[in-house]
Amino acid sequence: MRIVVMSDSHTAYGRVLDIVQCNQSADLFLHLGDGEDEFDRVAAQYPEKAFLGVRGNNDWHSEKPAVDFITVEGVKIMFTHGHLFSVKWGLDQLIREGVAQDARIMLYGHSHVARKDYVDGRYVINPGSVADGSMTPAGYLVLDITPGGIMPVHRTIEHKISETIR
């Protein structure tokens, strides 16, 4: 199964749309918060695709959960924005919750920094920010989960003039 994971799009509708258009083979699109409006707008254009998301600290009107879980190919995934786990100051709280919930993959956003850690047999991954490339290049994550293993790959986003008019 191929999952495209994005976070922190902060009104960058054009970038979210580009990510979906460039990843049509994906089985699932996940958004880790702070961009629910544009993610939902894009999702509405692709009713045949699966979209899931959680709320971020800037998704004030959201009714989505702050933390959610899915199981894919027998692998449990925890996904969250990360602000409730203070991820900007460390990953200990996030990892503790993921371990307590028996998640093999923990996905989080909030810091706008793409990062991939492997801790005690578990992946802890931030896809970076769709909108902001000030600390690491703007980007997202392609996560392949197969019977043969887990393959997380960060991808960067090319800045396009057209996104300012979308």
* Residue 138: inside a domain: yes
Q: Please state the domain count of the chain.
A: 1
164 pLDDT above the threshold of 50: no
162 pLDDT above the threshold of 90: no
CA–CA gap between residue 64 and residue 75 (Å, rounded): 22
135 pLDDT above the threshold of 90: no
Instruction: Report the pLDDT value the prediction gives residue 73, as an integer from 0 to 100.
Output: 94
Instruction: Report the pLDDT value the prediction gives residue 157, as an integer from 0 to 100.
Output: 87
CA quadruple 95, 97, 103, 107: dihedral sign:
negative
Instruction: From 33, 51, 55, select the one nearest 41 (Cα to Cα).
Output: 51
Distance of CA 19 to the CA centre of its chain: 12
The pLDDT tens digits for 137-159 are 899 999 999 999 999 999 998 75
CA–CA gap between residue 155 and residue 3 (Å, rounded): 13
The pLDDT tens digits for 54-81 are 999 999 999 999 999 999 999 999 999 9
Where in the sequence is the domain holding 90, given as residue range(s)?
A: 2-161
Quickly state the pLDDT bin for 136 (edges 50, 70, 90).
confident
Question: What percentage of the chain reaches a pLDDT higher than 90?
Answer: 90
Instruction: Report the pLDDT value the prediction gives residue 159, as an integer from 0 to 100.
Output: 53
The pLDDT tens digits for 108-131 are 999 999 999 999 999 999 999 999
* Residue 166: inside a domain: no
For residue 85, the domain's CATH number is 3.60.21.10
